[in-house]
Structure 1
Amino acid sequence: MHHSLPDEPQTLGADLRALRKARGLTLADLAERLGRSVGWLSQVERDKSDPSISDLRAIAKVLEVSISMLFRHAPATATEAGYIVRAAARRPMGSKTEGLVEELLSPDLTDDFEMVHSTFEPGSRVSEMVTRPTQEVAYLLSGTLQIEINDTVHTIYPGDSFRIRGEAFRWSNPYAEPAVAIWVIAPPVY
């Protein structure tokens, strides 16, 4: 049986399975609470299926952990820990099928803010308006994004930035290219 070394990062599925077992829940228990099938959950735990950000929020809520716990980075070297996050060490979260994949850029969540790298897949959109008790500024690196803030739709191009302070918003990327943005969010919501 393969035992991973302490400095070897666990997969998301392995972390979810460990958290579920630590709470004494069976696959069936957790699937029922999530309103999902045991087969789907089993695939997520075996890293055969990528849960969406919405799925992860629901799972984190039931397991009573913050989503940020699931965004774990591979451990940094002693001299870099708390300071440097290497690109290869980040764990992408979310799914291309839902259309949003996010990575935590901050070394941890001990600051008054967090930095997140978001990739919005071509043709993706969030249908529900989102309202968060946060201040957020995003900068678009590439692609084109539509952001609706308080019923006004804005088209954002590379180099543009925008701010949301608790307003209801939703995004869409009706274009052929992925849109990539860096967000600074305070307080850290994940």
Structure 2
Amino acid sequence: MGSVEEDVLAGVGSRLRALRQARGITLAELAAETNLTASTLSRLENGKLRPTLEQLLPLARAHEVPLDDLVAAPPTGDPRIHLRPVRRAGMTVVPLTRRPGGVQAYKVIYPPVGQASALAPQTHEGYEWFYVLNGRVRFVLADQEFELGPGEAAEFDTRLPHWIGSADSQPAELLTLFGPQGERAHL
């Protein structure tokens, strides 16, 4: 196998780990989704096992990404960005960055009050910054509550209990930067 193919396959593990961590799931949970063993997934993520197409297809399906994203296929010459929204817990998340690891950018659309998931603050590793593009946002951070409108921004350590959602009967649109390792946004 040539060096180009080896370079492509060498980067698959870190991309797989970044996708799994961005979803906040364990190897065991991903194993249940893909019918691959947690041991196989761990070895793929650590680069100790060369991925096969039979392994990559269920992983791409589980992470809801094109197979090209897993192997970092070279660009086709088309400069257009093909955004693929993901719907989770009533909200729509549009990834704006295509590389694994580091600070990730997203456009997030929270559904109107009544269509959103119940207020259930969560915690996880990382640091988040968001900017309200449209609508009003209810932001709960630990024992504080805020309402933000268009043009306002907030940043916080995601290890603190937090919840974000629309503050009224209209959807809320945010630009979000998230650093899974605690990277802060620099303005």
Code of the residue aligned with 2:180 in structure 1: it is: P
The total of aligned residue pairs comes to: 128
Structure 1 unaligned spans of 5+: 1-52
**Relative to 1, partners in 2 of residues 1:148 and 1:71: Cα closer, same or farther, differing over 3 Å?**
farther
Distance 1:61 1:175, change over 3 A: farther
TM-score by length of 1: 0.55
**Once the 2 structures are TM-superposed, how far is the Cα of residue 131 of structure 1 from its aligned partner?**
0.5
CA contact (8 A) 1:68 1:109 kept: no
Is 1:121 paired with 2:121?
no
- Residue 132 of structure 1: CA displacement? 1.4
Q: Which amino acid aligns with 1:161?
A: A
**1:21-100 matched pairs, under 5 angstroms:** 60=30, 62=32, 63=34, 69-72=63-66, 77-79=75-77, 86=81, 89-95=82-88, 98-100=89-91
Alignment partner of 1:178 is 2:171: yes
Between Structure 1 and Structure 2, the one with more helix by share is: 2
Amino acid in the other structure paired with 1:107 = R
Alpha-carbon spacing, 1:159–1:107, altered in 2? closer, same or farther (3 Å): same
Change (3 A) 1:66 1:150: farther
Tell me the secondary structure at the aligned position of residue 91 of structure 1: coil
Q: Distance in 1 between matches of 2:31 and 2:153?
A: 31
CA spacing shift, 1:68–1:152, aligned 2, 3 Å: farther
1:163-190 CA-partner distances (Å, limit 9, x unpaired): 121211012324121100011111279x
Please give the alpha-carbon distance, in whole angstroms, between the structure 2 residues aligned to 1:145 and 1:70.
Answer: 27
Contact 1:60–1:67 (CA under 8 A) maintained in structure 2: no
- Calculate the aligned-residue CA RMSD, in Å: 3.6
Quote the sequence identity (%). Answer: 13
